[in-house]
Amino acid sequence: MNRLVISDKDLELNQIRDFLESKPQVELSDVAKEQILTSRKIIEDVVASGKTVYGVNTGFGKFADVRIQKEETAELQRRLVLSHAAGVGEPMPESIVRLMMLLKIKNLSQGYSGIRLETLQLLLDALNHDIIPVVPQKGSVGASGDLAPLAHMTLLLLGEGSAFVTVDGKRAQLPARDALKTANLTPVQLQAKEGLALLNGTQAIQAYGLTALLEAENLIRAADIIGAMSLEALLGTLTAFDARIQEIRRHPGQIDVARNVRKILQDSPIVESHRYSDHKVQDAYSLRCIPQVHGAVRDGLAYIKSVFEREMNGVTDNPLIFPDNGDVLSGGNFHGEPLALAADHLGIILSELASISERRIEHMLDPNVSEMAGFLTEEGGLNSGFMIAQVTAAALVSENKVLAHPSSVDSIPTSANKEDHVSMGTFAARKAKEIAENVTNVLAVELICAAQALDLRAPLEPAPATAAVLDLVRGRIAHWKEDRLMHVAIDAARELIESRAVVNTVETVSGHLY
């Protein structure tokens, strides 16, 4: 059975991808269990000593100066969870909540939070039995982390709220207590500090952001491939992709993109057919500047990846327990600003992938530019061809322009000005994922247009790599001889991109893409 062991080692991005795709069983290592037990002992000692520690025996936020009696510390945690479960809107996708649960387990396993092992084990058991709490999408400002989303996640451990679970082979939504019963699991009564440990943190921002990041890593390679197909179909010149041009500007992403395009279009009869022609000295920017634009996206993605990799392995709770000397320190590691800025940047750079893609689509459809059949249909008038597919791409590009407006520049004070600067990171990450989905659809439109355009270049043949992609597409989507249901073709192309079939096909022919 596929397993994912949570230990003192960092999680890697490929493990997150595998977790989302193959749903491994998650386990705590012995080292992680020892860390959890050690930090819990410190909290129990604090409660026994009567020492005042925020969130352990005090109220929260503006009520931090209200002392809670020893016998009420458990009730304090229960009420914290119930009152903070104030989310609204449609439920988050189950995949996002599953990842949020995993990231919370990793966060709490490091021994700085003071949660009991049995409480964390219940969250882990629920995850392994695919009992996924219903978490509304909206209600987090990314300040003390994702309080509302994480409170809804935590309700499951109390037997409150509701959860998705498989019943008779179908996913159903049941009251949490009933959902736990399907796996013979029993709710827990939270003890001192546990509710706060579960609610503080940036795991919702991380889950949305990491999912968008994984999509982006596939999209940057797919965009190079599809852009190369369009360049080839439009009889573009490869001069602009010469390695010397890229090297003297020094941006690594630009160098890699140009290298990819040269590799993808190697041995192309179409390219060779006009190599020494003065027909086109310079191409439009959407072709000529693919290395500069796609490359800038890659360089931005490297920064974003570094932020999210640090965060998913860091500790975002408050207060924090330091086992070496027993100190319990209150700080601000829950603040989502690092992720908010990175997620906004992710949305912006992905929007540019779609923007330049839509321009290449337009060039292929315009007979004055492409010198092919208008809208890539040989019987125009009776057929509209790809006319409205380009309109769809334009609509998504325009939508992305609104979605890419940064959330992180906004802040609204909460908790009676105690939490007077917030990150809005959760919305930033949600938007980034939505933008990634829009970009995938725009690239899907470009893919079917490029395939049609390459067909129209016959009897000239495309490069071996792009020919392989053309065969892949034609295995799912027939040549557009006469008009038919367009969205079916777009959906099929999107699935080829999302499944990484486009990238895998080229790498089988040309070797690894950068």
- Contacts of 7-11 with C-beta under 8 Å, sequence gap 24+, read 7/31, 7/32, 8/32, 8/35, 8/110, 10/309, 10/313, 11/106, 11/312, 11/313
d(C-alpha 226, C-alpha 359), whole Å: 13
Q: What angle do CA 354, 356, 357 make, to 5 degrees?
A: 60
Question: In terms of CATH, what superfamily is 209-510?
Answer: Fumarase/aspartase (Central domain) (1.20.200.10)
Tens of pLDDT along 232-255?
A: 999 999 999 999 999 999 999 999
Instruction: List the beta bridge partners of residue 171.
Output: 166
State the catalytic residue, choosing from 54, 208, 285, 303: 54
Residues 6+ apart with CB under 8 A from 440: 215, 219, 494, 497, 498
Do 3-200 and 209-510 agree at the fold level? no
In degrees, rounded to 5, the angle at the alpha carbon of residue 97 between the alpha carbons of residues 96 and 98 is 90
Alpha carbons 158 and 250: distance in angstroms, whole number? 55
Angle at 255 between CA 251 and CA 259, to 5 degrees: 170
| pLDDT at position 1 | 64
CA distance 44 to 50: 10
| Domain residue ranges in the chain | 3-200, 209-510
CATH class of 3-200: mainly alpha
Q: What is the per-residue pLDDT for 193?
A: 93
Residue with tokens 């013979």: 184
Instruction: Indicate the pTM of the whole model.
Output: 0.96
The yes-or-no answer on residue 54 being catalytic is: yes
Per-block mean pLDDT, blocks of 10 residues, the chain (514 long): 94 98 98 97 90 80 78 90 98 98 98 97 98 98 95 98 97 98 98 95 98 98 98 96 98 98 98 80 93 98 98 96 92 97 98 98 96 94 97 98 97 91 97 98 98 97 98 98 98 98 98 96
Give the pLDDT score at 58.
Answer: 81
Question: Could you tell me how many residues make up the chain?
Answer: 514
Q: Are 506 and 469 in contact (CB under 8 A)?
A: yes
pLDDT, one tens digit per residue, over 30-63 is 999 999 999 999 999 988 888 888 778 887 777 7
